[in-house]
């Protein structure tokens, strides 16, 4: 197939047929295989991974783009399913390796391969000096492969393949520098916490199969309304279990603690996996099964409440973090909370919209942070002739914002791009985040959740504050990389990152600006693309919206305290701008202590700094008791009771044998008595 | 060549070949024994492989059937055959053996002739168990297996080898003796009804036993099988046997021997005693024991300091899943169970091989003695990670397909048990990942570990087919599931119809025979079912 | 057969012989169990054998000549046994200088 | 009549001899009284028409075996009672009760136990007639050398083996 054939399709304006669907998956997989082989065979040759890694992604992106264009020109209602081969067939259960092409999956593919390509290119610069270069690209390509399986999978189990596959890659990449015990632990923690959610996903699948007799999305979603009672226990159970899976994958309360630890991985990984793509899989899952969620108002409420709660909770922690990546990690959790709020209240498009814009600006923020870390790390490393080695002991943590400051002078491009992303996430018009976040806030009010609406607004304020704080601490004021008086040395050693790294930043910056224009609200018709995304996704979400409307859930176009969409858009924009300006004003004059000089915060600030002690709580309440129980099982039940019984039986047999042996005195008389008695017995029986 | 496969003699050849090879091992020079053994097992594998293609997937009954009278006075015959339940087990055995032999090349340094002879004699026993269709013959093979295994552990084992070997032997012998009683009783009941002795599978499976008799006889069989599986709380022989056995012994133990318990349930337990096997109390008891096995073994595994013991406990957990699938009594559950047995053989066998390779280099199995090995043994690390992921059932590997089918199937009949069992996937991660981390990752902080050499070519050749199968079954399990389908569906059909028509023991106190609502997929199997028997024998007279 | 029948077939003497045989046997048992001198125990065994012979002979009047044939063989075996037994006693005595049965515990491994 | 009296006298003396023999502390006198018992039983054999058996009982038991016992006693110099070889009260109780039990069981067996068994009756007279016809030795010898030849031969082998065994056991180790 080629573009010409595609043009033919477009001309026909009729059905959509995916072009080379398998290639979308095959290219990243091939890349992973080649790079993986390279990790063993040509470990020191960096040319092949440099080419193969990004090329696999770009190729995949190209195929996706062709299909995306083809789809936009075609009339497609429902989904186009392509079967590659049949996978698990047993009795009445039949699961194929089927790829589902619809507007939602194509949009996600665009995000995954597009942002993924940029991050691959960036990685070429970021990971240049790493000895595990080839292995890194292998994992990264493999991740994209699994992410695409997740997105394109046409059935619950196939999606689950991607779902756990990305978890695996996340595990491998978080623990990429496996020699550091902390990093390896973080990877393990991520995998296990994800597995808790995955167990929920699995049980949800079993329920779906019980109810529908199939696990393919298309028939399940089509039959959902007829099969499951609205608000019934079954659909609520299914959706809540699915949501349990989402909380694991998307780091929502109560399974959120792995994501901040996951920052142990290389920064581009954080950008790709832990910001732009994998962690949004939960949102994607809910969007994919929107009909099921629409059928259960209880689940919807739970999703929305957990989302809003997580958003506020994580934002509060982000305010008091010093590690630049931790701030962004909590920011990600918070933004994911927004997305769940959106899909929870029923504004599925808004959720996906925020997913998209978030992918742009959060990837940009992470890559920018990576650039900063890269620069600081190199500044320190070069002075010491200390080639590799991560986390330089002489100076401290390159991630710590107290070791940054005033980087504006040394990294002007990064500085600009980061500010673009900051304004975007803070919700300053006309950048991407303004449109997407505002839509979520608006709909949460419009669908009649006043408390969640208030929480969302408060979170918006906090978002602007912590992001502005991050920018001030990193780029403004005086430089602290070499202490307060190390300006000269800093000038010599701190440099802007190479083009291969800032170029992707530039692209993402552009996307962070224009990304929001994909779905201009009707109330603010500033551009001709009014509600474009809404229309694009309509075929996917129409059934769910229909279900909700049939049961009286339709948005009232006013906020809980009155006022229309345009007014409240203005108000939230004003809040964002005011918060950003106020924070910059408030923090800029204050001198920041370096990491070495810092004193531990006290009071409530300390609670926030220590992340509300959730990790400690889990450790005391779950991890340690579990381990104690497990040890008891081993030592007491297994070695004590069961083996005790077994060995006891053996000992009893031996005792019996010993007792029998005592009869054998070796004296003739004993034997004679026994013999006589025996003879007596025989005679007695005879007589 | 094809005539061999049509002509039914192939199974006999598979049984006899290792015997001949083992005898040859004993007489050749010490240094040649391993070559002879490897050649024998490779030929065996090559000989068995075409079975996979010549197997008729539409036929639920036995294929390649041979039945020759042996001890006619007692109705004992040499009867062998294979069906969808046994074919994968046979192939798993013949596949595992060359790997086990090759994996012992540098591990076994003394009494090599006897060692390889024992391995081959063991092979005869294992294949015999899977092909035997006469209960007496089955029992003979079942017991024959014990002897070489006893010596493998007791002679070439670790420090506590004698204790472990005796424990293994006694544990399994206790179970199998009760099974012998049950077998003889079955034959006696048959003789009582028909006037002639018979131990033939098809004769005995056609017996219409009273409910009470079924329960007792099932208990006799079930204990033997439960010990072999091993089902909680009969599992404590396994960790000891695994830890002390040489690598090949562990591989075979995990790869093949543990399958015999579940195979026994499928081959004898369910079809012979359908009313007992569908009795709610029995089913729930088995499921709960399987469930306890899954969770409990995972917990105990998570706190083991010894890598081999950890893997041994994971076996208990995996086999718990299999038991769950079998007693869920659905097509998916049983097919998944059979597939999971294959998967477990591959992945756990591979884990034991890998730990064995580490042991050869470092003479330690303690997890704490390692760390950072990935740095010096990258290929080893890759293999261990893939195998570990297969063991935790990551989708895309074979482990997932089996576990998924088992859970889906069991969920239909026993949703709560299956739902709780699903948490087993969490604990699987809890035991496997820390082990992987503490062996492969973290800092390479021990001087002894710096000098470790990566796996050599022989070891790579051993690991390659295992890794390939892990991925192949993970993405394309179709051919494997295909071969089990007809037999499994016929088995379920048989159990359902026969458990519904079971006569009660005493006509006075007729209990209603409540049958579990087995899978709704009423696939009508009209073809030849297992009971092609002509003799109708009543049990109650 | 009733008691009278037995008496009829055997005659009174036959019956007496049987009782004597039983009494002699019991005396032999007492001797075997009560004495510690190996040789006397041995002699008591011979007494028991003789008692058995007596009953066999008595029965041979009822059942035919086979009883006596049996006695013949018993005597042959007793002769062999006496020879071997005494040889053993001699061998043991050489080693332990005593024939007290309670002084040695040789009959176990 | 006189025969019956003789028979009962033999019986009484056999029992008496046995009691004395068991109670003698001196082994030599025990041997002597045992020989007496053998003579008494031989007499009983005679009265029971087992003439050949009576003869070899005297020759074999009374003569050969008992002489062998005496030889051994003399050889080992055990012909005096210088140690208590009677067991204590516990042993006496056990031995006595077993012995009485034997007596009871045997009596019961001889008196009432043969009820159900078929019996081919050959009166003492039939035995006597056969003896008159074939001679007292011939009565025993004929079946011995016809029906029981193999057993007889085996007994011969047994005796041979016992001779060899005896020599092996009793021979002094040559050091």
Query: What pLDDT shows up at residue B504?
Result: 58
ipTM score assigned to the predicted complex: 0.77
In chain C, which residue's Cα lies nearest the Cα of A676? C29
Query: What pLDDT shows up at residue C98?
Result: 82
B67: confidence class by pLDDT, cuts 50, 70, 90 = confident
C29 contacts A667? CB cut-off 8 A: no
B442 contacts A179? CB cut-off 8 A: yes
Q: To the nearest whole percent, how much of chain B has pLDDT over 70? A: 91
Residue D141 CB contacts under 8 Å (≥ 6 apart), including other chains: none
Nearest to C91 among D120, D162, D169 (CB): D169
User: Does residue A99 fall inside a structural domain?
Assistant: no
Chain D within 8 Å of A393 (Cβ-Cβ)?
no
The residue from D119, D138, D163 where one domain ends is: D119
- pLDDT, averaged across chain C: 83
- CA B163, B164, B170, B171 dihedral sign is positive
The residue-averaged pLDDT of A378-388 equals 61
Structural domain total, chain C: 1
pLDDT digits 0-9 by tens, B356-378: 999 988 888 888 888 888 888 99
Pairing mode of beta strands B76-82, B63-71: antiparallel
Q: Do A431 and A467 belong together in one domain?
A: yes
pLDDT digits 0-9 by tens, B404-438: 999 999 999 999 999 999 999 999 999 999 999 99
pLDDT digits 0-9 by tens, B209-228: 888 889 999 999 999 999 99
Query: What pLDDT shows up at residue B523?
Result: 39
B93: confidence class by pLDDT, cuts 50, 70, 90 = very high
User: Does residue A53 fall inside a structural domain?
Assistant: no
**Looking at CA atoms only, how far is residue D128 from chain A in angstroms?**
31
User: Does residue C79 fall inside a structural domain?
Assistant: yes
* Cβ atoms A531, A538 nearer than 8 A: no
Q: Do D75 and D14 belong together in one domain?
A: yes
End-to-end CA distance of chain C: give it in Å, rounded.
Answer: 49
Helix (H, G, I), strand (E, B) or coil at A323: strand
Chain B within 8 Å of A94 (Cβ-Cβ)?
no
Q: What is the domain-level CATH number for residue C15?
A: 1.10.287.3510
User: Does residue B371 fall inside a structural domain?
Assistant: yes
Structural domain for A650, as ranges: 618-686
Structural domain total, chain D: 3
B2: confidence class by pLDDT, cuts 50, 70, 90 = low
Query: What pLDDT shows up at residue A14?
Result: 54
User: Does residue B169 fall inside a structural domain?
Assistant: no
Would you tell me which residues 88-107 of chain D have a C-beta closer than 8 angstroms to some C-beta of chain C? 91-92, 94-96, 98-100, 102-103, 106-107
User: Does residue B509 fall inside a structural domain?
Assistant: no
Query: What pLDDT shows up at residue A18?
Result: 85
Chain B within 8 Å of A653 (Cβ-Cβ)?
no
Structure tokens at D12: 């009484």
The DSSP 8-state label assigned to residue C107 in this structure reads S
D124: confidence class by pLDDT, cuts 50, 70, 90 = low
User: Does residue A220 fall inside a structural domain?
Assistant: no
Q: Do A634 and A501 belong together in one domain?
A: no
Task: Please give the distance of CA A161 from its chain centroid, rounded to a whole number.
Answer: 15
pLDDT digits 0-9 by tens, A317-376: 998 888 899 999 999 999 999 999 999 998 899 999 999 999 999 999 999 999 998 888
Structure tokens at A6: 């595609």
Chain B within 8 Å of A178 (Cβ-Cβ)?
yes
User: Does residue C96 fall inside a structural domain?
Assistant: yes
Of all helices (H) and strands (E), which one includes residue A98? strand A93-101
Cα–Cα distance measured from residue A58 to residue A69, given in angstroms and rounded to the nearest whole number: 16
Query: What pLDDT shows up at residue A4?
Result: 42
The residue-averaged pLDDT of C46-60 equals 91
Chain A within 8 Å of C94 (Cβ-Cβ)?
no
Q: Do D46 and D61 belong together in one domain?
A: yes
Question: Is residue A613 pLDDT above 90, yes or no?
Answer: no
User: Does residue C108 fall inside a structural domain?
Assistant: no
User: Does residue A208 fall inside a structural domain?
Assistant: no
In chain D, which residue's Cα lies nearest the Cα of A677? D98
A396 sits in the region (left: phi over 0; alpha: psi -120 to 50; else beta) called left
Between A and C, how many residue pairs show a Cβ–Cβ distance under 8 A?
29
Task: Please give the distance of CA A271 from its chain centroid, rounded to a whole number.
Answer: 10
Q: What is the domain-level CATH number for residue D3?
A: 1.20.120.1200
**Looking at CA atoms only, how far is residue A314 from chain B in angstroms?**
26
Half-sphere exposure of residue A226, counting CA atoms within 13 Å on the CB side? 6
Q: Do A407 and A441 belong together in one domain?
A: yes
User: Does residue A112 fall inside a structural domain?
Assistant: no
Give the CA-trace dihedral at B25, B28, B31, B36, to 10 degrees.
-50
The string of DSSP codes covering B116-143 is: HHHHHHHHHHHHHHHHB-BHHHHHHHHH
The string of DSSP codes covering D30-94 is: HHHHHHHHHHHHHHHHHHTT-HHHHHHIIIIIIIIIHHHHHHHHHHTT--S--S--B--HHHHHH
Question: Is residue A1 pLDDT above 60, yes or no?
Answer: no
A38: confidence class by pLDDT, cuts 50, 70, 90 = confident
Contacts of A665 in chain C (CB under 8 A): 105, 108
Question: Is residue B97 pLDDT above 60, yes or no?
Answer: yes
pLDDT digits 0-9 by tens, A99-144: 999 889 999 999 999 999 999 999 998 888 888 889 999 999 999 9
Structural domain for C94, as ranges: 3-103
Structural domain total, chain B: 1
Q: Do A526 and A447 belong together in one domain?
A: yes
Query: What pLDDT shows up at residue A356?
Result: 93
Structural domain for B375, as ranges: 279-502
Query: What pLDDT shows up at residue D82?
Result: 62
Contacts of D106 in chain A (CB under 8 A): 683
Question: Is residue B518 pLDDT above 60, yes or no?
Answer: no
User: Does residue B184 fall inside a structural domain?
Assistant: no
Structure tokens at B408: 């889906």
User: Does residue A216 fall inside a structural domain?
Assistant: no
Neighbours of A436 (CB within 10 A): 33
Question: Is residue B502 pLDDT above 80, yes or no?
Answer: no
Query: What pLDDT shows up at residue B472?
Result: 94
Contacts of A686 in chain D (CB under 8 A): 109, 113
Query: What pLDDT shows up at residue D40?
Result: 93
Structural domain for D152, as ranges: 124-175
* Cβ atoms B386, B467 nearer than 8 A: yes
In chain A, which residue's Cα lies nearest the Cα of C28? A676
Contacts of C96 in chain A (CB under 8 A): none
Window from A141-145, A383-387, A630-634, B428-432 with minimum mean pLDDT: A383-387
Would you tell me which residues 357-376 of chain A have a C-beta closer than 8 angstroms to some C-beta of chain B? none
Give the bridge partners for A216, in sequence order: A155
| Selected residue of D26, D50, D112 to mutate for chain C interface (largest C Cβ count, 10 A) | D50
Structure tokens at A28: 């990243």
pLDDT digits 0-9 by tens, C69-92: 999 999 999 999 999 999 998 888
D7 contacts C13? CB cut-off 8 A: yes
In chain C, which residue's Cα lies nearest the Cα of D116? C1
Question: Is residue C36 pLDDT above 50, yes or no?
Answer: yes
The burial class, CB within 10 Å (0-12 / 13-18 / 19+), for B93 is buried
End-to-end CA distance of chain B: give it in Å, rounded.
Answer: 50
The residue-averaged pLDDT of D98-116 equals 77
Structural domain total, chain A: 2
């Amino acid at each position: 197939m080629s573009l010409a054939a595609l043009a033919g399709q477009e001309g026909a304006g009729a059905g959509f047929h995916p072009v080379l669907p398998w290639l979308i998956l095959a290219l990243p997989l091939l890349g992973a295989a080649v790079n993986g082989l390279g990790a063993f065979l040509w470990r020191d040759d960096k040319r092949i991974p440099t080419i193969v890694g990004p090329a696999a992604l770009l190729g995949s992106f190209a195929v996706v783009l062709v299909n995306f264009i083809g789809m936009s020109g075609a009339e497609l209602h429902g989904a186009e399913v392509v079967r590659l081969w049949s996978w698990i067939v047993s009795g009445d259960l039949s699961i194929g390796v089927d790829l589902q092409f619809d507007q939602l999956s194509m949009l996600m593919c665009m995000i995954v391969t597009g942002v993924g390509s940029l991050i691959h290119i960036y990685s070429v610069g970021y990971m240049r000096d790493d000895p595990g270069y080839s292995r890194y690209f292998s994992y990264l390509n493999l991740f994209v492969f699994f992410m695409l399986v997740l997105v394109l999978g046409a059935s619950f189990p196939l999606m689950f393949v991607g779902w756990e596959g990305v978890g695996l890659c996340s595990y491998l990449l978080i623990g990429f520098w496996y020699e550091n015990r902390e990093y390896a632990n973080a990877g393990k923690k991520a995998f296990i916490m994800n597995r808790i959610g995955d167990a929920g996903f699995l049980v949800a699948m079993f329920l779906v199969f019980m109810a529908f007799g199939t696990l393919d999305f298309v028939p399940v979603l089509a039959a959902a309304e007829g099969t499951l009672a609205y608000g019934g226990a079954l659909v609520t159970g299914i959706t809540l279990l699915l949501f349990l899976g989402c909380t694991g994958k998307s780091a929502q309360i109560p399974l959120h603690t792995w994501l901040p630890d996951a920052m142990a991985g290389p920064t581009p990984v954080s950008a790709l996996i832990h910001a732009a793509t994998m962690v949004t899989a939960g949102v994607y899952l809910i969007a994919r099964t929107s009909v099921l969620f629409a059928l259960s108002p209880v689940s919807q409420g739970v999703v929305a409440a957990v989302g809003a709660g997580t958003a506020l909770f994580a934002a509060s922690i982000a305010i008091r973090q010093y590690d630049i990546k931790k701030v962004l990690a909590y920011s990600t959790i918070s933004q994911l909370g927004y997305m769940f709020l959106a899909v929870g209240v029923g504004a599925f498009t808004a959720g996906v919209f925020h997913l998209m814009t978030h992918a742009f600006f959060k990837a940009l923020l992470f890559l920018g942070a990576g650039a900063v870390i890269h620069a600081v790390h190199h500044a320190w490393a070069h002075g010491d002739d200390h080639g590799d080695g991560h986390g330089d002991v002489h100076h401290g943590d390159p991630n710590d914002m107290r070791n940054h400051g005033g980087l504006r002078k040394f990294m002007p491009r990064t500085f600009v791009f980061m500010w673009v992303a900051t304004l975007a996430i803070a919700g300053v018009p006309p950048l991407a985040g303004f449109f997407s976040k505002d839509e979520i806030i608006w709909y949460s009010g419009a669908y009649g959740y006043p408390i969640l609406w208030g929480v969302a607004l408060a979170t918006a304020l906090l978002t602007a504050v912590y992001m502005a704080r991050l920018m001030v601490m990193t780029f403004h004021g005086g430089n602290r990389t070499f202490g307060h008086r190390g300006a000269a040395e800093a000038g010599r050693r701190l440099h802007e990152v190479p083009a291969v790294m800032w170029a992707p930043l530039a692209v993402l910056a552009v996307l962070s600006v224009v990304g929001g224009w994909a779905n201009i609200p009707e109330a603010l018709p500033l551009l001709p693309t009014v509600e474009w995304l809404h229309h694009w996704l309509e075929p996917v979400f129409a059934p769910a919206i229909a279900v909700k409307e049939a049961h009286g859930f339709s948005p009232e176009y006013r906020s809980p305290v009155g006022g229309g969409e345009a007014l409240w858009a203005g108000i939230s924009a004003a809040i964002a701008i005011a918060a950003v300006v106020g924070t910059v004003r408030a923090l800029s004059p204050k001198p920041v202590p370096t990491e070495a000089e810092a004193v531990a915060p006290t009071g409530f600030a300390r609670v926030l700094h220590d992340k509300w002690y959730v990790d400690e709580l889990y450790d005391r309440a779950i991890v340690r008791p579990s381990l104690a129980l497990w040890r008891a099982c081993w030592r007491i039940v297994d070695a004590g009771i069961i083996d005790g019984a077994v060995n006891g039986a053996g000992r009893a047999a031996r005792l019996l044998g010993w007792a029998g042996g005592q009869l054998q005195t070796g004296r003739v008389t004993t034997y004679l008595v026994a013999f006589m008695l025996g003879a007596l017995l025989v005679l007695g029986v005879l007589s | 060549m094809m005539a061999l496969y049509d002509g039914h003699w192939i199974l006999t050849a598979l049984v006899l070949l290792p015997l001949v090879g083992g005898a040859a091992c004993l007489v050749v020079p010490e240094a040649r024994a391993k070559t002879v053994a490897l050649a024998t097992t490779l030929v065996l594998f090559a000989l068995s492989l075409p079975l996979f293609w010549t197997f008729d997937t539409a036929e639920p009954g036995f294929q390649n059937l041979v039945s020759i009278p042996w001890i006619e006075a007692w109705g004992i015959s040499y009867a062998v055959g294979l069906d969808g339940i046994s074919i994968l087990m046979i192939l798993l055995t013949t596949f595992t053996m060359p790997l086990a032999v090759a994996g012992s090349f540098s591990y076994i340094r003394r009494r090599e002739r006897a060692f390889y002879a024992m391995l081959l004699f063991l092979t005869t026993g294992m294949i015999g168990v899977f092909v035997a269709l006469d209960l007496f013959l089955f029992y003979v093979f079942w017991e024959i297996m014990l002897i070489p295994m006893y010596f493998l552990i007791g002679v070439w084992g670790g420090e506590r080898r004698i204790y472990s070997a005796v424990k293994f032997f006694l544990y399994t012998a206790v179970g199998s003796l009760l099974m012998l009683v049950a077998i003889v009783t079955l034959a006696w009941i048959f003789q009582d009804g028909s006037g002639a002795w018979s131990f033939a599978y098809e004769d005995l499976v056609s017996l219409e036993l009273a409910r009470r008799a079924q329960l007792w006889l099932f208990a006799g069989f079930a204990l033997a099988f439960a010990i072999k599986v091993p089902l909680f709380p009969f599992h404590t022989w396994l960790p000891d046997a695994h830890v002390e056995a040489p690598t090949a012994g562990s591989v075979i133990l995990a790869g093949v021997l543990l399958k015999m318990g579940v195979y026994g349930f499928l081959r004898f337990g369910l079809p012979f005693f359908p009313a007992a096997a569908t009795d709610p109390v029995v089913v729930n008891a088995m499921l709960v024991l399987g469930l306890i096995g899954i969770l409990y073994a995972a917990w105990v595994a998570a706190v083991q300091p010894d890598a081999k013991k950890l893997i041994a406990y994971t076996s208990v957990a995996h086999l718990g899943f299999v038991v769950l699938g079998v007693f869920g009594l659905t097509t998916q559950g049983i097919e998944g169970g059979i597939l999971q047995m294959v998967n477990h053989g591959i992945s756990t066998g591979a884990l034991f091989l890998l730990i064995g390779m580490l042991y050869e280099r470092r003479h330690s199995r303690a997890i704490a003695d390692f760390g950072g090995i990935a740095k010096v043994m990258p290929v080893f690390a890759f293999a261990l990670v893939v195998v570990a992921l297969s063991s935790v059932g990551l989708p895309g590997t074979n482990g997932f397909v089996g576990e998924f089918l088992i859970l889906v199937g069991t969920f239909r009949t026993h949703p709560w048990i299956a739902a709780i069992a699903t948490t087993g996937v969490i604990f699987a991660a809890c035991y496997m990942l820390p082990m992987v981390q503490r062996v492969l990752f973290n800092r390479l902080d021990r001087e002894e570990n710096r000098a470790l050499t990566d796996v050599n070519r022989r070891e790579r050749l051993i690991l390659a087919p295992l890794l390939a199968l892990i991925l192949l079954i993970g993405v394309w399990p179709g051919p494997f599931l295909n071969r089990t389908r007809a037999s499994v569906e016929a088995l379920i059909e048989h159990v359902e119809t026969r458990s519904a028509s079971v006569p009660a023991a005493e006509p006075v106190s007729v209990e209603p025979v409540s049958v579990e609502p087995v899978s709704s997929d009423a696939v009508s199997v009209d073809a030849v079912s297992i009971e092609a028997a002509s003799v109708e024998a009543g049990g109650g007279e | 057969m009733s008691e009278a029948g037995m008496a009829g077939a055997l005659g009174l003497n036959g019956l007496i012989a049987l009782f004597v045989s039983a009494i002699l046997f019991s005396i032999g048992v007492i001797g075997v169990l009560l004495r510690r001198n190996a040789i006397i125990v041995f002699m008591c065994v011979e007494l028991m054998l003789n008692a058995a012979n007596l009953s066999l002979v008595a029965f041979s009047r009822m059942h035919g000549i086979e009883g006596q044939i049996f006695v013949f063989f018993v005597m042959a075996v007793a002769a062999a046994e006496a020879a071997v037994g005494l040889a053993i006693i001699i061998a043991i005595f050489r080693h332990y200088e005593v024939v007290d049965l309670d002084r040695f515990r040789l009959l176990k491994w | 009549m006189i025969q019956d009296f003789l028979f009962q006298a033999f019986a009484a003396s056999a029992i008496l001899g046995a009691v004395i023999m068991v109670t003698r502390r001196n082994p030599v006198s025990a041997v002597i009284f045992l020989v007496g018992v053998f003579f008494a039983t031989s007499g009983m054999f005679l009265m029971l028409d087992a003439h050949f058996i009576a003869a070899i009982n005297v020759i074999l038991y009374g003569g050969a075996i008992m002489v062998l016992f005496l030889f051994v006693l003399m050889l080992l110099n055990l012909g005096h009672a210088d140690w208590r070889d009677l067991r204590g009260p516990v042993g006496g109780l056990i031995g006595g009760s077993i012995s009485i039990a034997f007596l009871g069981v045997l009596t019961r067996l001889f008196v009432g136990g043969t009820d159900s068994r078929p019996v081919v009756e050959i009166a003492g007279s039939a035995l006597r007639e056969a003896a008159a016809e074939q001679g007292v030795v011939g009565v025993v010898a004929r079946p011995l050398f016809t029906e029981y030849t193999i057993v007889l031969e085996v007994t011969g082998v047994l005796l041979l083996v016992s001779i060899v065994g005896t020599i092996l056991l009793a021979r002094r180790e040559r050091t």
